[in-house]
Structure 1
Amino acid sequence: MAEAVSELAQRVEHFVRESVIPFEGQIGRASHGPPDPLIMELRGAARAAGVLTPHIRADGSHLSQRDTARVLRMTGLSPLGPLACNTAAPDEGNMYLLGKVATPEQKARFLEPLVRGEARSAFFMTEPADENGAGSDPSMMRTVCRRDGNHWVISGRKKFITGAEGAKVGIIMAKAEEGACMFLTDLPDPAIRTLRVIDTIDSSMPGGHAEIEIEDLRLPADQMLGRAGEGFHYAQVRLSPARLSHCMRWHGLVTRAQEIASAYACRRHAFGKPLIDHEGVGFMLGDNMIDLKQAELMIDWCADVLDSGNLGTAESSMAKVAVSEALFRVADRCVQLMGGTGVSGDTIVELAFRETRAFRIYDGPTEVHKWSLAKKIKRAHAADPR
């Protein structure tokens, strides 16, 4: 099994380096992501190369989180790699959740097109953070759902919904008398209206991040995902692995930035010698090596926790904080040592910087995860005040 995963990771790496990286010039600085025709062209190439949706086996089973990390780091070597190989957010996390919770009928209708790379999806959880708004705190959710015979009717507003524009599958979180619920829906739907696609610092996710209004969306009861009132539990089933997958993909991207910066420092001469021979530059690249290895080990540690069957809520919070902060430091040093070239679009280094800056906020800001960990420490002390 280890040899098979190693071979798979090598094939994915070869495909991304040889067949995907040449298309990076088409990304541009548009904040709403690469166009769908380009994504579908790359997915066709990935399908032909046998590396489409590589983290899900032919029988529908999922690679272990540790093995997934090896593969997803390779897809992340290009900002287009996860899109080409169908390992990108939010689709990868949505596929994982549907694989765990959906009924056979729901899998056939909503999951299989995602696995085949024929459709994109969106996860409608985050809400506007205005006065009394929920933001990314689902316990304050204001989107509601109510029973109406054999249907549910959903109304509310969502914000920063990645990939909603152009998605064909939606997972919507709403609050009922029983508690939080999740629903599956086909997209587009006239009851789900995009108010705007928000301009953000990152630019690698197709469809961008939208603000959405849901008005009296009527769905059959069999499109509820799981059971009424269990939505928070399902969110945790999805969020810990999806949070870690972000770490995996962006580790690959920042590894590539380090490769580019290292080559630049070895080629570029200034003040009578190669840049890398100046300690101020060489030490930055050495610090990058340390941060990348520590981030890799943190990812693998958290993956082992999830593979043990643990929800890994605290562990994924620790990994997300440690990895996002480390990768941003690496990307920042790469930009700095490359000077003007580092802030230009001549390489993907500036894009890696922008993506990892956003990563410190997406899937929970660093401070929210630290606050969650502090609460865990407080509970542990109350239970055993030694």
Structure 2
Amino acid sequence: MDFAHDSRTEEMQGRMRAFMEEHVLPAEAVFDAQLADSGDRWAWSRVPVLADLRTTAREQGLWNLFLPGEHAGVEGAGLTNLQYAPIAELSGRSKLAPPAMNCSAPDTGNMEVLSMFGTPEQKERWLHPLLRAEIRSAFAMTEPDVASSDATNISTRITRDGDEYVVSGRKWWITGAMNPDAEILIVMGKTDPDADRHRQQSMILVPRDTPGLEIVRGMEVYGYDDHDHGGHAELVFHDVRVPAANLIGEEGQGFAIAQARLGPGRIHHCMRALGLAERAVELMCARADERVAFGRKLSDQGVVRDWIAESRVKIEQLRLLCLKAAWLMDTKGNKGAHTEIQAIKIATPATVEWILDKAIQTHGAGGLSQDFPLAPAIAGIRTLRFADGPDEVHKQALARHELRRQAGLREQAGAAR
């Protein structure tokens, strides 16, 4: 088995490392200050330093890297998942890197949906402005009144009325929707409650300024409102009317579209989380080398060394699993990588959460403060154990697949005897 990256990946890694060190990391404090002074805490995409970073990313060929090769005709970089994986990992080291390269969620998933399922008119109106970062978007799926871990529970209604659809329902945790530049929402709801449970749902495009769409409030995660990447909104659709041409794909195709969207999204999240874990280990080691407790540096304390060693082992394990999932997505398709995608979604957030916890512990009270990026990081990574499906759903599906696989092996062994 060849574990080496190909020449294009190595070349892009070099570019990405330089971009991070020379431009992104020095801009973090500038971004926070400019956003605080802007007068609109939700308008992160309008901060001047981010515009500068985007210009640099474009010039250096670090733009829309998430979009796979088969969609390269719509301004994608044409990278495979395996090529993109180490680049996404490097971007996870800073909250600024993904939006600087137009590779941040939920826009990436929405662009993938539109590139795969959108009509030519939908692509022209919404996809191309998104690919140019002229607008932002949101994905409205989760609801407060049902267990959204089971997507078939979605209760928002999308009802045909002549040349229009009427959208009625309530959504929450809609990432990015607080941003005034989020001009379009992809909304999932039921068009036919009496159909097969996986054919009841559809997806439709709802412009943010459509009459009847109410933005109720921004949600908080452990006290953070995540305004620096668009926040998470609670929305109500009061009989919102949009043209029938806004339907994505066909009626009843919503669940399948959601699965197509979430597969790449899950692996992208996990790749970026690895970069966050690497930065946490760097901070942990630096802090351990400079602090003294009970007459010795923290880095000489056995318990801290244990945390550092365990962190390195865990990161290496996760990276190999992520790369395997990416390789399978490229060679076998998303369905062929289903088990591995579930495995990384189970393992990565919880493991990175553990690493961040040890980094915080090494920093002492400072780790809980605004002086280091660890407190908001652990709040963010905790949400990833819900985003794109909670741990328990992935474990149940993975166990079901393993039980079937083992039963098949027993049958084969019995037939061979």
- 1:176 alignment counterpart: 191
- 1:215 alignment counterpart: 238
Q: CA deviation at 1:382?
A: 7.2
Partner amino acid, structure 1, of 2:57: A
CA separation in 1, counterparts of 2:300 and 2:45? 44
Is it true that 1:290 corresponds to 2:323 in the alignment?
no
- 1:252 alignment counterpart: 275
1:109 counterpart (119, 125, 132): 125
Q: Where do residues 73-88 of structure 1 align in structure 2 (5 Å cutoff)?
A: 73-88=89-104
Q: CA deviation at 1:372?
A: 2.5
Partner amino acid, structure 1, of 2:340: E
Q: CA deviation at 1:266?
A: 2.2
2:359 counterpart (309, 334, 337): 334
Q: Which deviates more from structure 2 when the two are superposed, residues 45-54 or residues 238-247?
A: 45-54
Q: CA deviation at 1:341?
A: 2.3
Aligned with 1:135: secondary structure?
A: coil
Q: CA RMSD in A?
A: 2.5
Is it true that 1:161 corresponds to 2:186 in the alignment?
no
Q: CA contact under 8 A between 1:27 and 1:34: conserved in structure 2?
A: no
- 1:19 alignment counterpart: 23
CA separation in 1, counterparts of 2:405 and 2:65? 40
- 1:309 alignment counterpart: 333
Q: Would the alpha carbon gap of residues 5 and 284 (structure 1) be closer, same or farther in structure 2, given more than 3 Å must change?
A: same
Q: CA contact under 8 A between 2:149 and 2:393: conserved in structure 1?
A: no
Q: CA deviation at 1:379?
A: 5.1
Q: CA contact under 8 A between 1:145 and 1:175: conserved in structure 2?
A: yes
2:218 counterpart (197, 204, 216): 197
Q: Which has the higher contact order (CA 8 A, sep 6+)?
A: 1
CA separation in 2, counterparts of 1:13 and 1:221? 45
Aligned with 1:227: secondary structure?
A: coil
CA separation in 2, counterparts of 1:18 and 1:310? 35
Q: CA contact under 8 A between 1:281 and 1:337: conserved in structure 2?
A: yes
Structure 1 residues not aligned, in runs of 5+: none
Q: Where do residues 256-271 of structure 1 align in structure 2 (5 Å cutoff)?
A: 256-271=279-294
Q: CA contact under 8 A between 2:263 and 2:334: conserved in structure 1?
A: no
Aligned with 1:122: secondary structure?
A: strand
Q: CA contact under 8 A between 1:261 and 1:337: conserved in structure 2?
A: yes
- 2:401 alignment counterpart: 376
Q: Would the alpha carbon gap of residues 252 and 342 (structure 1) be closer, same or farther in structure 2, given more than 3 Å must change?
A: same
- 1:137 alignment counterpart: 150
Spell out, residue by residue over 1:203-233, the C-alpha distance to the aligned partner (whole angstroms, 9 max, x if none).
Answer: 3762211111112222222221111111111
Structure 2 residues not aligned, in runs of 5+: 412-417
CA separation in 2, counterparts of 1:348 and 1:226? 41
Partner amino acid, structure 2, of 1:283: D
- 1:72 alignment counterpart: 88
- 1:35 alignment counterpart: 44
Q: Would the alpha carbon gap of residues 359 and 27 (structure 1) be closer, same or farther in structure 2, given more than 3 Å must change?
A: farther
- 1:149 alignment counterpart: 162
Spell out, residue by residue over 1:53-98, the C-alpha distance to the aligned partner (whole angstroms, 9 max, x if none).
Answer: 2334763344211112111111111122112221111111112222
Spell out, residue by residue over 1:98-144, the C-alpha distance to the aligned partner (whole angstroms, 9 max, x if none).
Answer: 2222222222211111111221110111111x3xx243322011111
Q: CA deviation at 1:244?
A: 1.0
Q: CA deviation at 1:6?
A: 2.0
CA separation in 2, counterparts of 1:377 and 1:251? 26
CA separation in 1, counterparts of 2:107 and 2:267? 14
CA separation in 2, counterparts of 1:320 and 1:183? 27
Aligned with 1:59: secondary structure?
A: helix
Q: CA deviation at 1:41?
A: 4.5
Spell out, residue by residue over 1:304-354, the C-alpha distance to the aligned partner (whole angstroms, 9 max, x if none).
Answer: 222121323333221101111111111111111121222222222223222
Aligned with 1:260: secondary structure?
A: helix
Is it true that 1:55 corresponds to 2:66 in the alignment?
yes
Q: Would the alpha carbon gap of residues 321 and 183 (structure 1) be closer, same or farther in structure 2, given more than 3 Å must change?
A: same
CA separation in 1, counterparts of 2:227 and 2:338? 27
Is it true that 1:2 corresponds to 2:2 in the alignment?
no
Determine which structure has more spread, i.e. the larger CA radius of gyration: 2
TM-score, normalised to structure 1's length? 0.91
Partner amino acid, structure 2, of 1:310: N
Aligned with 2:229: secondary structure?
A: coil
Q: CA contact under 8 A between 2:91 and 2:272: conserved in structure 1?
A: yes
Partner amino acid, structure 2, of 1:212: L
- 2:388 alignment counterpart: 363
Partner amino acid, structure 1, of 2:54: R
Q: CA contact under 8 A between 1:162 and 1:205: conserved in structure 2?
A: no
Partner amino acid, structure 2, of 1:180: Q
